[in-house]
Amino acid sequence: MTPTRIETTQDNTVAPATADAPAARRGRPGYDQRAVLQVAVTAFNTHGYEATSMGMLADALGISKSAIYHHVASKGDLLRLALDEALGGLEGVLAEPGATTGPVDARLEHVIRGAVHVLVERLPFVTLLLRVRGNTEVERDALTRRRDFDHRVALLVDAARDEGSLRQDVDARVVTRLLFGMVNSIVEWYRPDGPEPAQKLADDIVTVAFDGLHSR
């Protein structure tokens, strides 16, 4: 029986191939590493990392397990690449000029806007990041990087409070958790094909957050 080929859609979920897209031959790579990674992330989010086997991924791709190993050494490598996709995007926001120069409250706003864009543009990858619990070394490394990101944002909140642009009566760590609790909740309801683009979504979140944080 000819295996069903699975292709990735624009929002990085998995969709069945059309009639004019022939199935990949089993045992041959047929995909590049990026395509394998996108299918793996969809499977990790759907079934959980532990419950997803390389055999499941091979069946979804319509190739052999040995063909997957042509692209990555292990399932753990796929997880590492996926989490790095999310974390690299967030860490990159902190390195942008808008996050490092100018008034501190403007820098903090830039980081929040940037985080929203990363989440929307890399939705399946950030969704996976938010679900890791530290069960493997790869996950523990990712959680360490995520805590470092949160800490650096909290330092910005502290600096904005010291500058007088944010309220003094809310703890910086609480503010950071509330801000990213709101941002991270996007993964539960946002749809890439929905009516609200990333820019408008970022505008809405910044308005809700900072209208309540600016000093009176």
200 contacts 186 by C-beta, under 8 angstroms: no
DSSP letter assigned to residue 10: T
Whole-number mean pLDDT of the chain? 85
Beta bridge partners of 68: none
Contacts of 82 (CB under 8 A, 6+ apart): 37, 40, 41, 44, 125, 128
Alpha-carbon dihedral angle through residues 191, 195, 196, 198, given to the nearest 10 degrees: 60
Residue 93 has pLDDT above 90, yes or no: yes
One-character DSSP codes across 152-192 = HHHHHHHHHHHHTSB-SSS-HHHHHHHHHHHHHTHHHH--T
C-alpha–C-alpha distance, residues 119 and 126, integer Å: 6
Torsions phi, psi for 7 (to 5 deg): -120, 160
88 contacts 143 by C-beta, under 8 angstroms: no
C-alpha–C-alpha distance, residues 18 and 7, integer Å: 9
pLDDT at 91: 98
One-letter identity of residue 49: Y
Provide CATH code, domain 82-211.
1.10.357.10
Residue 21 has pLDDT above 50, yes or no: no
52 is written with which tokens?
Answer: 């997803």
Mean pLDDT of 28-50: 89
Contacts of 102 (CB under 8 A, 6+ apart): none
Mean pLDDT of 15-25: 36
What are the residue boundaries of the structural domains of the chain, listed by start?
A: 6-68, 82-211
DSSP letter assigned to residue 4: P
Mean pLDDT of 42-64: 95
pLDDT at 1: 38
Q: Which residue has the higher pLDDT, 109 or 20?
A: 109
User: pTM (2 decimals)?
Assistant: 0.81
